[in-house]
Structure formats: structure tokens, C-alpha cells
Amino acid sequence: MTSGIGVLVVDDQPPFRRAARAVLERVEDFHLIGEAETGEDAVALAAELRPSLVLMDINMPGMGGIEATRRIVTADPDVVVVLCSTRDVADVPGTVAASGAATYLSKEAFGADALRHIWRSLTS
């Protein structure tokens, strides 16, 4: 069994999931434990896999990332969900604050350093 910070990546776009996978392979202590394309799958996988961190796309068909985040955090308040989108933070829906997400990260800023910084700031 792999130790460290288990990460679930949720995004309906395969290129972002591939990019997230590549970043996680290079960041010590983080490891990918699952991927989901929909909010519905994210909720189910989070309950099954019990990740420490979820990287959640906001905009997906069906159940969006904000509702999926709300359900995941309600079921497991210890999970850290980081909402991700290509939107500027000023353009993020107001419902993000009520979702239970720990923070927001622009996909353009996503990378190894950003991931380490966010994790340290949220868990210190």
C-alpha cells in the first residue's frame, strides 16, 4: 500500500486529468488514487477511496463540482477539496464559498509548487 497523500482528480476533460497525473507523479508524498469524469462518480469514488485531497473541476455536465464538493465534504469533513477552473477567481460562482471547498485554484496556476503550497497552507 502506498502511503502519503491520496489524491482524487475530478475533471470531465482528459487533458487536465493527464496533466494532474503528471504533476502528482513528480510531487513527493502525493499519489493519485483515482480519477472521475463526473460529479456523480466523484461522490461515489470519494466514499470508496477516502482521498485526503480532491482536485475538483467546477464545471462538468450533470452534477457540477460545487454540488459534488458539498456532498463529499458533508460525508467526510476531513477531506480537503480544491476547486479548479479556468475562470479568474473574481468570476467563480458565489456558491463556491458554501460548498465546503478549502480553496480555489486556477487551472493555469496548477503545478507541483502550487500543489505543495496549497497543501502546506491548508494543513499547517
- H or E element in which residue 77 lies: none
Domain region containing 84:
1-90
* Angle ∠(68,73,76) on CA atoms, nearest 5: 125
Which residue in this structure is represented by grid cell 476531513? 78
Q: How confident is the model at residue 1 (pLDDT cuts 50, 70, 90)?
A: very low
Least confident of 83-87, 108-112, 117-121: 83-87
For residue 75, is it within any domain? Answer: yes
Average pLDDT over residues 65-82: 95
- What's the chain's Rg over C-alpha atoms? 13
| Statement: residue 23 has pLDDT above 70 | yes
For residue 106, is it within any domain? Answer: no
For residue 108, is it within any domain? Answer: no
Q: What is the CATH number of the domain that holds 34?
A: 3.40.50.2300
Residue 92, pLDDT score: 59
Q: How confident is the model at residue 96 (pLDDT cuts 50, 70, 90)?
A: low
